[in-house]
Amino acid sequence: MLILASNSPRRRELLRESGIPFEVVPSRFEECGAGLSARETVLRFAEGKAREVYSRNGEAFVLGADTVVSLDGKILGKPKDREEAAAMLRALSGRRHEVLTGVCLIGREFFRLDAARTVVEFYPLGEELIGRYVESGLPLDKAGAYGIQDGYPLVRGYEGSYTNVVGLPMEFVTAFLKEGKIC
């Protein structure tokens, strides 16, 4: 059995679309990583989430993940309000940034941890588009205040994994699950 240590609707949808059976048990892991690089942050948080849920669920395999947006080495997490979301989108406008997702799979005598990296380039964004997008409420629960899948013309292009930008690099997940003989 696979347990997803996340309440993220995007991660649930990606797993559902892949046909992998799973249950959701949200992690109670406290995210604290001041001074860490983006890569160190996602690795620490993904492992922490997976270990916390594994400690409560015995023999199951547990999948933990954490995603951040990094612009010029600065981590952009989920915005606290609409104003911060708009500020993040202005900062990303017309620029390239990184999306990193740490993925951890833990099972009895099994442990895999890695991070996916995708470079994303934004179109220059006008204030009208930023305002409409922020007012939709969609950016408020996403790292970097955007979702590549939201249907707004934000992303000019990307290099790497699309599903990583959504929140769960399925290439990593599938490889880990095969290695653990889960699917």
pTM higher than 0.75, yes or no?
A: yes
Whole-number pLDDT of residue 112: 97
Domains of the chain: 2-179 (3.90.950.10)
Q: Which residues of 173-182 are buried (b: 16+ CB within 10 A; e: fewer)?
A: beebbeebeb
Q: How many residues does the chain have?
A: 183
Q: Two tokens at 56?
A: 């409560």
Identify the active-site residue in 66, 81, 114, 141: 66
Average pLDDT, 10 consecutive residues per value, the chain (183 residues): 93 94 93 85 96 90 96 94 98 98 95 98 98 97 94 96 96 92 75
**Does the annotation count 66 as an active-site position?**
yes
Shortest CA distance to 18 belongs to which of 181, 174, 176?
174
Tell whether the torsion through CA atoms of 14, 15, 20 and 21 is positive or negative.
negative
Contacts of 59 (CB under 8 A, 6+ apart): 107, 108
Contacts of 42 (CB under 8 A, 6+ apart): 66, 67, 68, 100, 101, 102, 115
Whole-number pLDDT of residue 32: 77
Q: Of all helices (H) and strands (E), which one includes residue 115? A: strand 110-122
Whole-number pLDDT of residue 181: 81
Whole-number pLDDT of residue 144: 96
